[in-house]
Amino acid sequence: MKDDAFERIAPLLSERSPHAPDTLAERVMQDIRPHRAVRTFHPAWAAAVLSSAAVLVFAVTFAFLRLRPAQVTVEISIVNRDAKAIHVVGDFNNWDPSAHPLTRTSENGVWRTKLKLSPGRYRYQLIIDNDRYIPDPRAREAVHDQFGGMNSILEL
């Protein structure tokens, strides 16, 4: 009886499935190949993503246009009858003495310049005759600098 059963099952076991891999490598590769996920397209999701992107672009553009700092014109002036040259240096011009010279506007020793600056807080000094750094006597606020002097504060 054992032999009858074996003879009936043996041909079935020896037949190969038409889709079965022939080698061990093919069988292993068949098992580890990634299965592709079926993705479905949902128009509602696409509409939600596109509308969210549009809102984000609008919000960023509006914030940029609204919050972009406007330029403010500020006049710096000082009275000094003896000076031959006066310049203003500060955070707004990278402390460059040649960037903003003041112009003598009267025989009474009034010197002036106009600066266009974005709103903010700036430290600055005046340079008298290219060698004497002083705080602006008309400034509302001054702070100590790291060189033992004083910086005027301009807040817009």
**pLDDT tens digits, 95-142:** 999 999 999 998 899 999 999 999 999 999 999 999 999 999 999 999
Residue 64 inside a domain? The answer is no
Alpha-carbon span 70 to 105, nearest angstrom? 28
pLDDT score of 41: 65
Show the domain range for 149.
72-155
Residue 3 inside a domain? The answer is no
- Domain containing 97 — which CATH number? 2.60.40.10
pLDDT at position 16 over 60: no
Residue 101 inside a domain? The answer is yes
Residue 148 inside a domain? The answer is yes
The SS3 of residue 127 is: strand
Residue 49 inside a domain? The answer is no
Structural tokens at position 131: 């060698």
How many structural domains compose the chain?
Answer: 1
Alpha-carbon span 111 to 83, nearest angstrom? 9
Residue 77 inside a domain? The answer is yes
Residue 8 inside a domain? The answer is no
pLDDT score of 73: 93
Q: In the chain, pLDDT over 70 holds for what percent of residues?
A: 74
Structural tokens at position 89: 């240096």
Mean pLDDT of 17-31: 67
Residue 46 inside a domain? The answer is no
pTM, full prediction: 0.57
Q: DSSP letters along 79-105, please?
A: E-SS-S-EEEEEGGGTT-TTT-B-EE-
